């Protein structure tokens, strides 16, 4: 009996091709609504998805033959993981696939903010040669605090080895520090950090975690980088802290206002006031959720998913 897999989002062709070569039966539906998919999902043993819609209890109850859900990405927040697990469904993600891309993007954001690269580029192109107002900072001798020391946090810390910087990490798990970062309490990180980089999933514990109280607990003004999930930061509180110079600059690849699919942002008629501030501020760098979105990670994510699906069925 063949194992039927429904691909709900498009991915790198190696995912489809290698699954086919391994004997799986591939089907694709990139356009149907969630309700239309639910009407036929009982025919499938596996799903491959990115973030097109939420895999909730209703969907899972309809998927009577489902054996695995593979998300081609790092997190599983769009899936009701607890309910899926209660049904014996394997949950597969691929944080190994884009951790290097996220790490490089995070580092690029820090260096761009420190050296006013975007601002200086725009000014020169507009005919302005402003040297003093674009005097930058060096990352050497700064303390970088990483919150969330899993795949992404560890990859980022590794990138920092070439700098003469102190790297600290905080995580809810014990003993995750390594030769690239010293694990400390949240209190110590807040006392020492010049730069804060978030590498967290979006969970009830991390939702709106970075708010006014969180920011005000830092001893020094600091820069913040977020390549994790937008809803981990209360944007209005971040903007207020920037106005008060408690936050010196922000590199945000993700925003609180993103849709669940991460594919859209500018759909509302009225731009929130806090977002408007970020879009106009010179000490803010914004990118459209592309930290893990490189040509190399596109292929690597697909390969990780293929390999993990094969393990589930003993085909590795």
Residue pLDDT, tens place only, 73-102: 888 888 999 999 999 999 999 999 999 999
pLDDT at 263: 62
pLDDT at 232: 96
∠ Cα 113 118 119 (to 5°): 95
How sure is the predictor about 230, in pLDDT bands with cuts at 50, 70 and 90? very high
Q: Which residue has better confidence, 304 or 270? A: 304
**Of the ranges 178-192, 202-216, 251-265, which one carries the lowest mean pLDDT score?**
251-265
The Cα-based distances of 233 to 3, 155, 163, 218 in angstroms read: 41, 22, 27, 15
How sure is the predictor about 52, in pLDDT bands with cuts at 50, 70 and 90? confident
For the annotated catalytic residues, the residue numbers are: 229, 258, 289
- The answer to whether domain 4-93 has CATH 3.40.50.720 is yes
- The answer to whether domain 99-286 has CATH 3.40.50.880 is no
CATH 3.40.50.720 domain position(s) in the chain: 4-93, 99-286
Q: Is the pLDDT of residue 198 over 70?
A: yes
- Is residue 10 classed exposed, middle or buried when 0-12, 13-18 and 19+ CB atoms within 10 A define those classes? middle
Q: How many Cβ atoms from other residues are within 10 Å of residue 180's Cβ?
A: 18
pLDDT at 262: 57
Of 174, 177, 8, residue with least CA distance to 79: 8
Taking all residues of the chain, what is their mean pLDDT, rounded to a whole number? 94
How sure is the predictor about 258, in pLDDT bands with cuts at 50, 70 and 90? confident
pLDDT at 70: 94
Average pLDDT of 246-258? Answer: 96
Q: Is the pLDDT of residue 260 over 90?
A: no
Average pLDDT of 259-287? Answer: 82
Average pLDDT of 99-110? Answer: 98
pLDDT at 314: 83
Of 153, 170, 15, residue with least CA distance to 92: 15
The whole model's pTM is what? Answer: 0.92
Q: Is the pLDDT of residue 261 over 60?
A: no
pLDDT at 266: 60
Of 137, 136, 177, 184, residue with least CA distance to 158: 177
Average pLDDT of 224-253? Answer: 97
pLDDT at 85: 95
Percent of the chain with pLDDT over 90: 88
Q: How far is CA 303 from the centre of its chain?
A: 19
How sure is the predictor about 268, in pLDDT bands with cuts at 50, 70 and 90? low
pLDDT at 259: 76
Average pLDDT of 222-235? Answer: 96
Q: Is the pLDDT of residue 15 over 90?
A: yes
Q: What is the DSSP letter of 73?
A: S
């Amino acid at each position: 009996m063949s194992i039927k897999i429904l691909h709900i989002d498009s991915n790198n062709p190696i995912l489809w091709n290698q699954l086919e070569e391994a004997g799986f039966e591939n089907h694709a539906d990139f356009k149907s609504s969630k309700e239309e998919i639910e009407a036929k999902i009982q025919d499938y043993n596996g799903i491959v998805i990115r973030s097109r819609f939420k895999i909730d209890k209703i969907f899972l109850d309809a998927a009577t033959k489902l054996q695995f859900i593979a998300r081609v990405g790092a997190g599983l927040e769009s899936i009701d993981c607890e309910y899926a697990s209660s049904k014996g469904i394997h949950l597969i993600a691929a944080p190994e696939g884009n951790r290097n891309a996220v790490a490089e993007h995070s580092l690029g954001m820090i260096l761009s903010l420190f050296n006013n690269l975007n601002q200086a580029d725009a000014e020169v192109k507009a005919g302005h040669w402003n040297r003093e107002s674009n005097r930058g900072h060096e990352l050497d001798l700064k303390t970088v605090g990483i919150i969330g020391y899993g795949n992404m946090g560890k990859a980022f810390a590794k990138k920092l080895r070439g700098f003469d910087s102190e790297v600290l990490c905080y995580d809810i798990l014990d003993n995750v520090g390594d030769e690239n970062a010293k694990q400390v309490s949240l209190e110590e990180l807040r006392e020492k950090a010049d730069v804060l980089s978030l590498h967290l999933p979006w969970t009830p514990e991390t939702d709106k975690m970075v708010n006014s109280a969180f920011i005000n607990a830092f001893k020094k003004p600091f820069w913040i980088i977020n390549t994790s999930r937008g809803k981990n930061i209360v944007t209005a509180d971040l903007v207020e802290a920037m106005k008060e110079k408690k936050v010196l600059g922000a590199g945000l690849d993700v925003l609180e206002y993103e849709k669940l699919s991460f594919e859209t942002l500018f759909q509302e008629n009225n731009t929130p006031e806090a977002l408007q501030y970020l879009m106009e501020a010179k000490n803010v760098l914004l990118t459209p959720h592309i930290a893990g979105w490189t040509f190399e990670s596109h292929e690597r994510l697909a390969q990780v998913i293929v390999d993990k699906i094969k393990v589930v069925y003993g085909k590795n």
